[in-house]
Amino acid sequence: MISGYPVYDICTLSGQQEHDLLADRFGDYLKKHDKLHFPHKHSFYHLVYFTRGSGTHVIDFETYDVKPGQVYFMIPGQVHSWFFEGEIDGYIINFSQAFFTSFLLRPDYLDSLPFFSGNTDDAVIQLNAKTQKAVIALFESVIEESTQHDRYSFDMIRTAMMRLFTLVAREHKKHAEVVTPTYNHTLLANFRKLIEQHYNTLKLPKDYAALLYITPNHLNALCNDILGVSAGEVIRNRIILEAKRMLINPKLTVADIGGRLGFADNSYFTRFFKKQGGLTPDEFRKNFNK
């Protein structure tokens, strides 16, 4: 099956059989993988911290300026590309979900962190000077431990990464509205997880409401209350995002993409895409290529 974009796993990037972790200095990483500036996605969690350089980083078609002291978090499945100016350096860690779930009694630990929500606006964080110093020391510790290969090295890496996550989560909390989790917030999180699983087959809020054992009106009300948009809009936005991801690949026809997203009729998919994004799929593809 032709993917809409190159998909990389840790084993492919590291050249080793160990597929749960890859840690490196970013400048060295770029030299080894000089084609990674093209749009691609990962099958793993991915974080990058910049200590030097400038340019832009595009995550799911949202563009961010690269700045020293900035950290990026990405979850599996997101599409990104970067365009750097001058010398660039920092740190990178790629890790699988199993790397933590095998260590913790909380399989939902990563999902509880705000920067691993999949919302790109929560995933790009400018750290203050004090946090930058602590984060750099933790990245150095992870890289050092990744060369040890003794029975304790992975536990040391996990401990350092959890400290890093906690420091950044605290920094994120300072700049974000503090929301006490409620029953509706939990429902919304479950709704989004169900969309990730079924967006190519289930298109209507009533389908997801049935899976959540609530009424469509309740689902729509909580989306409007928390997100400011309807439940239908949340579903449609996810479908459009996946369509854009696949339109990157010129080998996939618009009809192919519509079929994979569950649209039996190509003209219906084209109308749906244009209504949501203001452009036809072909127009979006041409603009992206420019």
In the chain, what are the domains?
7-175 (2.60.120.280), 183-289 (1.10.10.60)
239 falls in which pLDDT band (50, 70, 90)?
Answer: very high
Q: Which helix (H) or strand (E) holds 23?
A: strand 21-25
The helix or strand, by DSSP H or E, that contains position 205, with its residue range, turns out to be helix 205-212
User: Taken in order 220, 222, 224, 226, is the CA torsion positive or negative?
Assistant: negative
Q: Indicate if the pLDDT at residue 170 is higher than 60.
A: yes
Q: Choose among 56, 51, 74, 58: nearest CA to 66.
A: 56
84-88, 149-153, 232-236, 273-277: which range is least confident on average? 149-153
What does residue 42 show for φ and ψ, rounded to 5 degrees? -120, 155
Nearest to 1 by CA among 256, 285, 240: 256
Q: What is the pLDDT of residues 19-65, one digit of tens each?
A: 688 899 999 988 888 777 778 888 889 999 999 999 998 888 888 99
DSSP summary character for residue 115: G
Q: Is 236 helix (H, G, I), strand (E, B) or coil?
A: helix
**What values do phi and psi take at 246, rounded to 5?**
-75, -25
Give the torsion sign (CA, 282, 4, 94, 103). Answer: positive
Q: Is 180 exposed, middle or buried (0-12, 13-18, 19+ CB in 10 A)?
A: exposed
pLDDT digits (tens, 9 = 90+) for 68-93: 999 999 988 888 888 888 889 999 99
- Burial environment of residue 129 by CB neighbours within 10 A (0 to 12, 13 to 18, 19 or more): exposed
Give residue 2's pLDDT. Answer: 43
Contact (Cβ atoms closer than 8 angstroms) between residue 120 and residue 241: no
> CA-CA distance, 224 to 276, in Å (whole number)?
18
Instruction: Read off the pTM.
Output: 0.74
> Which DSSP state fits 122?
G
Q: In angstroms, how far is CA 133 from the centroid of its own chain?
A: 25
The predicted model gives 247-262 an average pLDDT of: 89
